[in-house]
Chain A
Amino acid sequence: MLVVVVLVVTAMIRESPEALSTFGLGFLVQTSWDPVHKEFGALPFAYGTVITSILALLIATPISVGVAIFVVEMAPPWLGNAISIVTELLAAIPSVLLGLWGIFVLVPFLQRTLEPWFIERFPDLPLFEGPPYGVGILAGGLILAIMVIPTIVAISRDVMLTVPVAQREAMLALGATSWESTTWAVLPYARSGLLGAIVLGLGRALGETMAVTMVIGNRADISGSLFHPAYTMASVIANEFTEATSSLYLSALVEVGLVLFGVTVVMNAIARVLVWSTARASSQVGAL
């Protein structure tokens, strides 16, 4: 596996020397993507990728952990199994099909119903600024959330099933309600596993290409509004690779791929540290 990773990185570095030498580290902070005037900067794409992934996690995590808690703690076994099977089916849907569903169902819904509702209620909030295009950061985040939920649900469920019965029983014996025993005994014990699930979900969200390309709006801008179109690193590579006319353009695109790789590594590293520190803390809690 390590060999494959090293080979991929060296191939990308080999294909992007022109962009690396022309722009240097400025590539990471430049905001202009102009093929005609030969100015390339990766910041808008990095912003788009990170923002949509974080938004996806913010939406998906409460839903997924909630579903996992319901399946493990509250639902009768037949219902729990049925829900797990359906969730895994959701993971099996090809991303392109989800993208098509996004274009034909989600985007019109956002454009005609949800976004105007927000704009009406909160006209001055910069988070909801701009005309209701339908496509944009919100649409991208929602689609990614749908793709990430099955991953987090499956792993959270497995993690929560491994919590020893003794933990729950001890909590109940102390007089806690069943909800309290879930939140005070099971979740803290499973904390590092849950974080691991979220990290895996994040990994999927960072790299997702097709579904996001179809609903993100494909505009290399940095904006604080959820309704504004954006552009992710994977999308720009998918969109512009075949028609990249000059060698500088091509090497700039490959360098964007390198930046994507870097962002993924950094975010995974941060998440790993988080998991490790929570695992250490919860191991100090220990079993009674």
Chain B
Amino acid sequence: MRVQHALLTSLVLSGLLAACGGSSAPVTAPSSPAAAPASSAAAAKPAGSTAASSSGGGVKLTGAGSTADFPLFTKIFDAWGKQAGGEVNYQSVGSGAGIEQLTKKTVDFGASDAIMTADQEKAAQAAGGEVVHIPVTIVAASVGYNVPGVDNLVLDGETIAGIYLGTIKAWNDPKIAALNPNAKLPSTPIAVVERSDGSGTSYIFTNYLSSVSPEWKSKVGADTSVKWPVGIGAKGSEGVAGQVKQVPGGIGYFEYAYAKQNAIPTALVKNAAGKAVAPSVTSSTAAAAGAAANMPKDGKALIVNGPGDGTYPITGFSWILTYKDLPDATKGKALVDLFTYTTTKGQSFAEDLVYAPLPQQVQDLDGQLIKSLTIAGKPQ
């Protein structure tokens, strides 16, 4: 009996040890950095990291931030790693957490859908010096709706603001009917859906509403997380898309990729030139191109409601954030190479993944921004 007991115990123990020893191949695995509670519990949007396997002993870079960029970065960083012999580990933990990690210097670069606030910049300045915002892709917030029998719904900024302020309550409201004279609009109440978690998509959407509606600007304002006057909150773009799909009369905003993949009808929004434009990869790139002429040289541009006939007005950049001075010589060179690749050759992967590639003017601006980075105090 005792011998059998001992045999069984040793069998179990050796089994456990073998399992722990396990594989050490670089695989995509969920990682939980500083923002542990939200990232480990978020089932709808799992935090992930990418690790492109390298052939030789290449440079290992780390980045963290925007969840919206994650699918695109996975592809671009993997491709860069293969041709440069390096490895990038990107943790999709949210723009805010990414900025925090950059400030704490636990990662080499961050990524954010929102421009850093003055407080955040001050903290980063104290930690490692000036931070440079490099636009790397364009995110479009499409307005999805669930009104059976209505195709190609046209909305404009003021109407959307009215819906989200609660002043426009039903689908057959005269303001909506005026924009859609041929549509049969039902009397269903509008079920407004918004993001409950802080998000770059909310940032772009609320900035758009602030620019077209003075009432919205004074009452609510623009940020990654605001006090929504009406509506229910859902977690993640997929949560909003799911709610809109389920609730008749629903309306919500989410990244264009979700609308395309879930076949949710999206509204055409009237841009600054008065043309009703549907969200698409082309109209997002057009928005950036239209705004490029007046873009500030530091890359921190809000391109909502921009000029141009083919522009989709609810768009925004997503930036890579990096310190201007990269202290480590080897890593610094690799980072410069990575940023250059991401903003030039890497853009070719964008369209397949339903991201909008940067127009040439913005790529040129990025080139200048990257050239301004210094490595270990010395210019490149």
Footprint of B on A, CB under 8 Å? 32-37, 96, 99-100, 103, 107-108, 111, 131, 133-135, 209-210, 213-214, 217-220, 229, 231, 235, 237-247, 249
Contact = CB atoms under 8 A, between A and B. Distances in A.
A34 B37 contact: no
Contact of B199 (A34, A243, A249): A243
Contact of A242 (B35, B44, B189): B35
Interface string B229-251: 00111110001001100110000
Given A210-B43, A240-B198, A245 B226 contact: no
B39 A242 contact: yes
Contacts of A108: 246
* Size class of the contact patch on chain B: 35 or more
Contacts of A133: 191, 232, 247
Interface string B323-360: 00000000000000000000000000000000000000
Contact of A36 (B226, B231, B235, B239): B226
Contacts of A237: 37
A206 B95 CA distance: 30
Contacts, number: 109
Contact of B227 (A35, A107, A209): A35
A234 B224 CA distance: 20
- Which A-B residue pairs are the 8 nearest by beta carbons? A243-B198, A218-B233, A218-B196, A36-B221, A242-B94, A34-B227, A243-B96, A242-B35
Nearest to B47: A242
A145 to B, nearest CB: 21
Interface in B216-230: 220-228
B216 to A, nearest CB: 11
Given A36-B222, A135-B232, A245-B114, 4 more contacts: A35-B226, A103-B242, A210-B41, A231-B233
A111 B247 contact: yes
B235 A245 contact: no
B262 interface: no
Interface string B138-176: 000000000000000000000000000000000000000
B119 A247 contact: yes
Contacts of B233: 217-219, 229, 231, 239
A100 B231 contact: no
A217 B44 CA distance: 15
B231 A219 contact: yes
A209 B198 contact: no
Contact of A32 (B198, B225, B227, B242): B227
15 contacts: A34-B226, A34-B227, A36-B227, A100-B43, A131-B189, A214-B235, A229-B233, A237-B37, A239-B196, A239-B197, A240-B197, A241-B35, A242-B38, A243-B95, A243-B96
Given A218-B196, A218-B233, A238-B37, A243 B221 contact: no
